[in-house]
A and B are shown apart, each in its own frame.
Chain A
């Protein structure tokens, strides 16, 4: 006998009215039911309507959105026709939300204690005198250190992981029966994310909660959910158990999505899912996914597929779901199986580079000159060969972006040298570098929305390096621009477009094209795929790899995502607090022997596989600055030896040719 649904959404369509008075649908005819003890994962690309659906379960719609048809019930209560007071009691009461980006979801002018007390006052029966004790109890339940001190803190004084825990504590204040989670770990470091996922898993189990978990991260979904629903362009395309959806997806979109995720246990680049989802305003006659689907035929384009209920309990919206096996038989790309022979010559060598952000002001120079904090980045010595891709990986604050900015000349180095092509030392200030050197080092930034001038057309964006370095103009300029656009797999018709007329992936391609227009020796990639959806990320990685094969360019690739770094790099450096922990060929770094920090990072990665559990070795404490002496990882290290780690800089141990680990632990024990 199945349990009655706790959260029940029936035939829900939500839309907004466009300027031309047309009704535009964001969600189309969606059904969702969650029983107590169930954790449902809601998956989809940005714009698929997944957050709208989750918030709809609370009877909440963003400004401008309205329900066109359908019903929403929570434990039998009609959420669309409910009195305001009753709704306020439910929200944050029996039905609580853990928001995306807690840093912005906590009110900046209220102390942590005040915000949690408010939740207790609104939704619990405990007497006012017990509020303080209640707050401290909640904060310790989410395993926050020093709960008493924390109550007096303001949200901005906490780290991202701590803020997220506070948001969870606030949601638990009312002892809820259902939890809605809207991308609760996006933007957090891997180790922090893994710890929070474990906390959520335990909570769901202990309290028999109904959970709706929205995420684009299939690894996180695999960890906490037992059922998964995949949304595409506002429609349900696939539902099933977590095992069914994540291990043998029956819909081509879900299949493509899973294939596009880079994984730690695979050496090759992930398969890209080409194209982009339709905009809500586009009219779709057939299947919304038809344009990107390899199985699509005439039927798919002319008539919309119905949602089929399969015997296995899955539902799938596809005419050809029984042919899904054909997609698996595609030959694996041999991208990384034969790495290109790297030249012996050095493209860029960093020697003993150190960077410090703290510049004492006039007053502190005059009044308190001692107490100089340790440098943000220190002792960075790396030699990068021509045609090599060096991955820099680490959590936020590891100094990886700082190193890139220093190479680019945007942040002055405190000491050390940067030498280009073995002989040409680069000045630390970009203004003092000659144009020829500038051309040879190009950078691609994380967010193309910020790095492309919104008022320049693609033609103008590409013209800048071509004019500056090659003095092109007129027809040669145009021809060269078109050639470069074609290299990044965009056509001539993109020339006159503005960045706002491009999708996220296309914008990043333009940014890549701009970097390649200079025909550089070295391209610095700063988290270039972090702002993109996974399917788009795979396409961008594929493009970067293809361009490198063509031109033999050297990349320095910074990312917090270990699987991405593994997929693209030849050699990897693992950084913690601005110091190198481990450096070596990619296969060596990602397998034993490990530096304790590398081990902690790799263990915390969540694979999109419900059967794989993360290994959590180190705590997810955020450190604001590196220790003054000894090993950078001493305070979090699970294998700390003792005072030697606090006093001496760890020695470089070469455990295999080119594989160096900086650690006091003897080579054999690593």
Chain B
């Protein structure tokens, strides 16, 4: 088990290293750099350009800069932004915190709701609760987020006036100040993620309920709800772990469209802004953070599956 754990963590580390290398070389290969952007029409002046590159430390070989960047990243120092003054960790830090806040709120609303709806529509397959939930899920999956977001703003904020329509709080403000502005984006996100997880849980519950061991439990005289909670759900929810993990990773990596629609100061919007400003050091850092989040969340999901699934658990235990 421990062996397995170390192996998976090492593999995750290798993945992040490869990703960082790809990001760095991708950015290097782009024509132009921070200086050509910064100087604009003055970039034709070779002397000025060389001076700028010297100031921003861009004239050293790429491999040196990569080494320096990774060393910094490991210790939490992501270097300076393209302007050469602001520390990236400060900019990204606030945004990361805000993205985590949004993701956490959406998860705590969306995941329990998705599991509940999935189980209900699986158990009442093809009957009214299932038809309603499944239809809503299809809407949630097919309508683009910005449409549903705009509709919700129209109804809940403009017509009914219950919730603020956009976020006006500044990126550096403490988390508590985002309430109640954060509620609308949370609702939209939960709606979308809920649909995916719910469909998955539904089909898994249907499969399990049709299995031989559920028939056996019924014929053993196990009362219905006891059968559902003891025999069916622990097995039906196993495959959901990975879908939930992917959804969480997606939420944490910055949900660009939603952040733009609601003017929410999260990682996704920072990424978009940095790309249009050619603020490549920031883009690099965000990409690295998002990749690490994906690796960590998936690792956690795999470990959880391994612990929750007796087949996998005993397999690794016995190997010891």
Contact = CB atoms under 8 A, between A and B. Distances in A.
Most buried by B among A96, A101, A105, A109: A109
A170 B221 contact: no
B223 A107 contact: no
Contacts of A93: 221
Contacts of A90: 221
B85 interface: no
Interface string B204-225: 0000001111011111111100
A74 to B, nearest CB: 13
A55 B218 CA distance: 11
A212 interface: no
B123 to A, nearest CB: 13
Interface stretch (B181-189, B230-238, B271-279, B292-300): B230-238
B59 interface: no
A100 B216 CA distance: 10
A90 B210 CA distance: 22
A122 B231 contact: no
B310 interface: yes
Interface in B99-151: none
A456 interface: no
Contact of A119 (B215, B220, B310): B220
Interface residues of A, number: 34
Interface string A143-158: 0000000000010110
Most buried by A among B3, B218, B220, B231: B220
A123 B221 contact: yes
Contact of B220 (A104, A109, A170): A170
B220 A60 contact: no
A58 B219 contact: yes
Contacts of A88: 221-223
Nearest to B308: A109
Contact of B213 (A97, A107, A118, A123): A107
A322 interface: no
A157 B314 CA distance: 8
B60 interface: no
A118 B222 contact: yes
Interface in A148-181: 154, 156-157, 167, 170
A92 interface: yes
Interface string A488-510: 00000000000000000000000
Nearest to B319: A364
B314 A106 contact: no
A532 to B, nearest CB: 22
Contacts, number: 77
A90 B221 CA distance: 7
A108 B231 CA distance: 8
A110 interface: yes
A99 interface: yes
A156 B311 contact: yes
B7 interface: yes
Interface string B292-320: 00000000000000000111001000000
Contacts of B212: 99-101, 104-105
Contacts of A156: 310-311, 314
A110 B218 contact: no
Contact of B221 (A91, A100, A107, A167): A91
A432 interface: no
Contacts of A97: 216, 219-220
Contacts of B217: 107
A122 B311 contact: no
A91 B219 contact: yes
Could you say which interface size class chain B belongs to? 20 to 34
A109 B235 contact: yes
Nearest to A119: B220
A118 B235 contact: no
Nearest to B235: A109
Nearest to A173: B220
Given A107-B231, A109-B234, A157-B314, A63 B210 contact: yes
Contacts of B210: 63
Contacts of B216: 97, 99, 105-107, 167
A622 to B, nearest CB: 16
Nearest to B7: A363
Given A104-B212, A105-B213, A110 B314 contact: no
Contact of A109 (B218, B219, B221, B310): B310
Given A108-B235, A109-B235, A154 B222 contact: no
B231 A104 contact: no
A127 B61 CA distance: 78
A235 to B, nearest CB: 25
Contacts of B310: 108-109, 154, 156
B56 to A, nearest CB: 43
Interface string A549-589: 00000000000000000000000000000000000000000
Contacts of A87: 221
Nearest to B310: A154
A294 interface: no
Contacts of B235: 107-109
B297 to A, nearest CB: 24
B314 to A, nearest CB: 6
A89 interface: yes
Contacts of A58: 219
A170 B221 CA distance: 12
Contacts of B314: 154, 156-157
Interface string A76-106: 0000000000011111110011011100111
B7 A92 contact: no
A109 B232 CA distance: 9
Most buried by B among A87, A99, A167: A99
A92 B221 CA distance: 5
Contacts of A92: 219-222
B219 to A, nearest CB: 5
A489 B223 CA distance: 52
A62 B211 CA distance: 11
B304 to A, nearest CB: 14
A59 to B, nearest CB: 10
For the complex of A and B, list the 3 residue pairs with the smallest distance between their C-beta atoms, beginning with the closest. Answer: A92-B221, A92-B220, A91-B221
Interface of A: 55, 58, 60, 62-63, 87-93, 96-97, 99-101, 104-110, 118-119, 122-123, 154, 156-157, 167, 170, 363
Given A105-B212, A118-B230, A122-B222, 12 more contacts: A60-B218, A90-B221, A91-B220, A91-B221, A92-B222, A104-B213, A105-B215, A109-B234, A109-B309, A110-B231, A154-B311, A154-B314
6 contacts: A60-B218, A99-B212, A99-B216, A101-B212, A110-B231, A123-B221
